[in-house]
Amino acid sequence: MFSFELTSEQQELRDSVRRFAEQEIWPKAIELDEKEEFSVELTQKMGDLGYFGLFVSDKYGGSGLDYISYILVVEELSRVDGSHAATVAAANSLGIGPIYYFGTDEQKEQWLPVLCSGQGLAGFGLTEPNAGSDAGGSKTNAKKVDGGWVINGSKIFITNSSNPMTKVIIVQAVTGERENGKKEYSCFLVPADAKGLTAKPIHGKLMWRASDTGELYFDDLFVPDSALLGNRGDGFRQMLSTLDRGRLSIAAMGVGGAQGAYELALKYAQERKQFGKPISKFQAIAFKLADMATEIEAARLLNFQACWRCQNGMSFGKEAAMAKLFASEVMRRVATEAVQVHGGYGLTKEYHVERFFRDQKLLEIGEGTSEIQRMVISRHIGC
């Protein structure tokens, strides 16, 4: 049965991540956001603390922990800064995960130790300029040649794809056509220094400005047969599985981000005085805070249930979509009200809450938009 209590180990992990985030990330968050600067230093520190490969066996350099422990790490980082939470979430769910779950022993031994150590990062190349929610619109292709494959095409909005720490990109490409006329997809492990790969960082983002997001271009890029992830034609299935797990981490970002915005609003409301008393004593503000706390707790428990099903080998696609949808929209409501509680101060960078307000929007778009989540859920319930 699902337990609502964290184990002592999980509580200790949560507390240690909270201390690190508050002491190491919080003081630098505004500056890194302002400069749009990906921090190699902080990412390596997170690697030293074991935040990468949390659910991976120690055989490959991971921590061998459960999925809820991983989600707690993402949640606590998000409570302080979405950018660094995004670096960890994408590196684990979208980078390490596909290799761990679908890779050969040789691929795992080659890539996982460096990725789990945090000395290298991996990205998942799925989205294209004309293929977002419609993954079937992908045009990046891989053609079979003697000894391997030649990849041509492009990807966009790929996290952890264009920074100095990127070591490998998992690339989904069209590798043929099935008997029913639909495209055949396969995934490949492309080294970041492969000839024919160009990576360009994307700047001018509204959110996650200290996270690395890039564009990728493949120009007659050759990879050997050993770079094929799993079996030919398994790419679409691998993508769906990866997105299901990725939605758990996005939900955790929603919960953690909402928690952070709520705590800022609560603290401000307790300190800010109007008409001779703290504004938290006014019913209009108190009820806002009560609603925030309630929705955050509901989102957290919904995601914990989905994670519990995942780590116990049960179906969790519906629950992951529900958790991601609800938590991302909870953060929108909480961050909006947190800015409102701050009044004019909430519109300034000095008070941090505007950063939570901006970072939230990605959660309703990444790993499948809110509209896509509703489609997934509706299919699961028989609509």
Which residues are part of the catalytic machinery? 367
DSSP 283-339: HHHHHHHHHHHHHHHHHHHHHHHHHHHHHTT---HHHHHHHHHHHHHHHHHHHHHHH
**Joined tokens for residue 162:** 């264009």
Picking from 160, 207, 161, the residue whose alpha carbon sits closest to that of residue 29 is 207
3-class DSSP state of 165: coil
In angstroms, how far is CA 3 from the centroid of its own chain? 25
In angstroms, how far is CA 149 from the centroid of its own chain? 29
Cα–Cα distance for residue pair 103/82, rounded to 1 Å: 29
Cα–Cα distance for residue pair 364/355, rounded to 1 Å: 16
Cα–Cα distance for residue pair 363/354, rounded to 1 Å: 16
Cα–Cα distance for residue pair 262/266, rounded to 1 Å: 6
Q: 67 near 311, Cβ under 8 Å? A: yes
Give the list of residues 6+ apart from residue 234 with CB closer than 8 angstroms, or none.
Answer: 102, 186, 187
For residue 100, CA distances in Å to 21, 66, 68, 86, 169 come to 27, 14, 18, 19, 14
**Joined tokens for residue 199:** 């990576």
Identify any residues that bridge with 306 across adjacent strands, giving them in sequence order.
none
Cα–Cα distance for residue pair 132/283, rounded to 1 Å: 43
